[in-house]
Amino acid sequence: MLPLVKIDFINGALGQVSASADGVIGILATGVTVSGMFSLNTPYKISQRADITNLLGLTELNNPGIYKLLNQLFDQSGDGVEVWIIGFADTVTMTTMLTLATIDGVQKLLLTANGKIRTLIVHRTPALAYVPVTTTGIDADVNLAMLQGQITATWATDTLKAPVFVLISGLYYQSDPILLPDLSLATNNRVGIVIGDTVEGNGCAIGIVAGKLAIAPVQRNIGRVKDGAVKGVFAVYLGQVLAEQSDVASIHDKGYITFRTHTGRTGYYFNDDTLAAPVTDDYNHISARRTVDKAYRIAYDTLINELLEEVPVTDEGKVSVVYAKSIENQVENAIVNSMTANGELGNDPANQNDTGVVCFVDVDQNIVSTGLLKIILQVKPYGYSRYINVELGFKTVI
């Protein structure tokens, strides 16, 4: 076997019950060629709104779907974020876009971006003749794309050592949450599905989610009220019905990302950042997924330097305590400097020794006989106030 560094995610530790490099966005979307500027099945990188037309030649007339998605993204993020995009013919399904074997498809985009993409957005503007299958209350292509997205995201993590998660447009939502599959019963903790558009119909304003993620720190929930309402949005429809008149609670309970309103506040917010996984899964929220994925990248970048390194050992062939401590310190310091210092881990501010990260190298392992160095790495997440209960009453005696 080729020498390598392998990092496995530990699950179950949380005990849950039933514009930086972190914001690099990749987009798979359908469109048409713009002569001399935008070709299908070709990756492009842009970083500002002006690039949409000036660099790619995309307009509302020649590529309305991609044009809308990218403008929604920059509405939320502003200029300066890194966005990679590849276009497909309007006959290509989202499932096919996400399939690794698709020639000049998602694999090409991820490789061209050299592992920089953190969030993969998948959207489609189908041909006029397209007839969706909506027996589950949403286009069947969405459900299949979710399964394929998990496969592709896992490949990017395990093979490229460049973790990503996937967000899919929930197209052709039929305005009835009862029909929707329950994503909390799925096992796709690298995939989420977004429902809702700025116009009535079958589309999805997934560009708004992409823009929020492009500038949010990894630990930040996109539904955080303190960040304010999404910018420049004056109406949101969930299928054929305005969001404020829709059964948002039922959509939320099924595990979808969607839009909501808050009494006394103007504008629209996101309900949460849920991924298609059980509530008992440590990584069933984007904020958890992004946090642990960043720790993964830092740990990999640190530990790759130790590959095929000479490891001092004891008389029993076990790892030297001095070497073990050196590795622990290297990994912890790298994560502290890149995450704890930026407020991205849930360390206790009242405890100056709590860095939010623990790295442990067991010295009781015989590396001479196995060639394997086992390391345990744990990072501390934030808690999130998803439910706030207040006991309110009268006080008659002062």
Q: Secondary structure of the chain: what % helix, strand, coil (to 5)?
A: 30, 15, 55
122 and 69 Cβ atoms separated by less than 8 Å: no
Write down the pLDDT at residue 396.
82
Nearest-5° Cα angle at 257, 255 to 261: 115
From 17-26, 174-183, 258-267, the region with the lowest mean pLDDT: 17-26
| Contacts of 199-205 spanning 24+ positions with Cβ under 8 A | 199/235, 199/237, 200/237, 200/239, 200/240, 201/237, 201/239, 201/240, 202/132, 202/171, 202/172, 202/173, 202/239, 203/125, 203/169, 203/171, 204/123, 204/169, 204/170, 204/171, 205/72, 205/233, 205/236
pLDDT tens, 260-294?
999 999 999 999 999 999 999 999 999 999 999 99
Exposure b/e, 309-342, CB count within 10 A at least 16 = b = eebeeeeeebbeeebbeebbebbbebbbebbbee
Write down the pLDDT at residue 1.
56
Write down the pLDDT at residue 18.
39
**Interacting residues of 54 by C-beta distance below 8 A, sequence separation 6+:** none
Confidence of residue 8 (pLDDT cuts 50, 70, 90): confident
pLDDT tens, 189-220?
999 999 999 999 999 999 999 999 999 999 99
CB atoms inside a 10 Å sphere around CB 185: 11
Calpha distance 180→225 (Å, rounded): 27
**Interacting residues of 167 by C-beta distance below 8 A, sequence separation 6+:** 119, 120, 121, 122, 191, 192, 193, 194, 206, 209, 210, 257
Q: What percent of the chain has pLDDT over 70?
A: 96
Helix axes 64-77, 206-215, angle to 10 degrees: 30
pLDDT (average), residues 318-330: 95
Calpha distance 178→182 (Å, rounded): 9
275 and 150 Cβ atoms separated by less than 8 Å: no
36 and 57 Cβ atoms separated by less than 8 Å: yes
Calpha distance 206→211 (Å, rounded): 9
End-to-end Cα, the chain, rounded Å:
75
Write down the pLDDT at residue 389.
86
Torsion 172-212-383-147 (CA) sign: positive
pLDDT (average), residues 241-256: 97
CB atoms inside a 10 Å sphere around CB 386: 9
Calpha distance 158→9 (Å, rounded): 11
pTM: 0.93
**Interacting residues of 228 by C-beta distance below 8 A, sequence separation 6+:** 267
Write down the pLDDT at residue 17.
38
Give me 378's structure tokens: 């744990």
Write down the pLDDT at residue 14.
58
Confidence of residue 397 (pLDDT cuts 50, 70, 90): confident
Calpha distance 114→110 (Å, rounded): 6
pLDDT (average), residues 280-309: 95
Calpha distance 306→77 (Å, rounded): 38
Of the candidates 375, 373, 347, the one whose C-alpha atom is nearest the C-alpha of residue 359 is 375
Confidence of residue 231 (pLDDT cuts 50, 70, 90): very high
Please tell me whether residue 134 adopts helix, strand or coil conformation: coil
